[in-house]
Structure 1
Amino acid sequence: MDTPRIPTRILFVAVLIGATTSSQAQSTRELDAALLQMSERGDLKDTGAPQVIQKPAQVRYELGAVVDVRTAQRSGLPVMALTPDGPAARIGFKVGDRLVSMNGVRLDGASPPAPLLEQALQRGEGRVVADVLRGSVPTKLSGAAGVVAVPAYRLEIGADAKGTCGFVTARAGTVPKTRNIFRADITTIDGRSTPLQSVNRHRLAVGRHVLVVQELIDTNRLSPSQLVQINKMKRFALAKAYKPLVVDVKPNMSYRIGARLLKDKLDTQSLRDNAYWEPVVWEEVAERCP
């Protein structure tokens, strides 16, 4: 089943009040700040040697809710708003819940709550297990957090760019289906959509990049009932059915991307959670960067 391509900018609602932003804008602001600092220090000079400003890509996890983290509260942190159809809403959070703990981190103590909540979200690595108070009733909630790809950036000043690139591709070579690896589609790279027309490979600067991948697993490897569950999940999740993959690109290397079918994750709940596959680099081959 075809699902819509992820938009060029991946927007998300942060857990901190008033912190809505875009991943691409975040990297742009950080790069602008780094350039300003170098300029103020007088570092931007033609020294004959390249100067490099870079930061690796990051994969972050978000709740999709506005939580009041202004002050610590003994009864837990109030949930003030939810992103419609966002991660928190799908997990089962309701406006008015008080968040007592998440992923083993207590949020009802005297410590400043904002860094604790951020720590709890990243600690789960995509999973959320939370204790909330709904009125006076303790309630346990669990599910999947939202995934945000914060792009890498690398800027070389005064450098010869030849030989400083690599490639990623989802179309080269014969995928090793005996290892349960199948075709995939790269839909975005560092927050930017790839061309809709077929592209054999994508040239990237050396460094860490975040790809977003759609699985194209052979349907004959799945039962009719499994396909029904997957199609339901994709209709509900849309672009959230895609998954991020971080690739560290080295000079003059090409990385072949695929989707691995996890045969021990084909139960109904795993299919509903989109846990039945993972994006992988299944082969690395030398390819000269012109």
Structure 2
Amino acid sequence: MNASFRSERSLPARPPRRPLALLLALFAPAAFAQAPVSAPELVDEAVIAIHHARGAEDRPLTIEQPARVRYELGAVIDSQPEDGGLPRVMAVTPRRAADRMGLMEGDRLLSLGDTRFDSVADPGALLREAVAGGHGMLRFEVLRDGRTRQVSGHLDRIDIPGYRLQIDAPAAVEGCGRVSTFLTPPISEDLFPALLHEIDGRLYGSLDSEVFRLPAGRHVLKVTEMIRGDRFLGQQNRQRQRLMRNERFKYLEIDVKPNTKYHLGVRFFPDRRNPIRDQKYWEPVIWKETEEPCR
């Protein structure tokens, strides 16, 4: 039986975005431009994650992408510098398109083609659109050492092959097993009862059940600890009760085998410092497995 647990916690706040060093699709390591691109490297893992999150992992998933071409400049450009001036070239990759054109670090971009940068609200969007739809060719007017210069040239072309990836649904596992909270775990081993809230986002039975019949396969249990209060100091107990009122849970993933009963409990870690606030004082566990026919 494979089992793993995770706790429910809020995600950290995302830091504010700073409009510095616009990478666009303009900059990439030289090795990427030379190496062939294989289909697995192009698979959007987010698509697979969403597929599973929607409970569709029991159905085949097809990810398809036609062959396409991408152009890259090979430069890092700050499209909105802190001094409020024109876009500035921050870095140029040697032997890439920007280097061949003659762009240099510190250049200020005056115009792209016939469009001046000081006439557009979003210089970054202008650069992105020009790279994506410029047919591999760009022409800049730049300010360098107080003088204007014209630079132009071909972008680096990256040919990305098309692919079609079929992810088959896993073969169904026949049979059933059970998860039980009926037996009291051995407290002498720092094991205590668990309160089972949900299985796979719902309950396979009534709320007051102590044994739950499950189809064989992987399941996720939503658990709260029921550790005896005399194992904590008074202040710790008050912190613990506040956590439980806020419905703080942990999750245990188990692979249910046919004709097997899994006895659910929690393991207590009594010697951890400041253990209450981050819930590191406990974890859900399967403390015993027994063979039992399930039909």
- Short-chain TM bin: 0.3 to 0.5
TM norm structure 1:
0.45
Q: What TM-score does the superposition give when structure 2 sets the normalisation length?
A: 0.44
Q: Whose radius of gyration is greater, 1 or 2?
A: 2
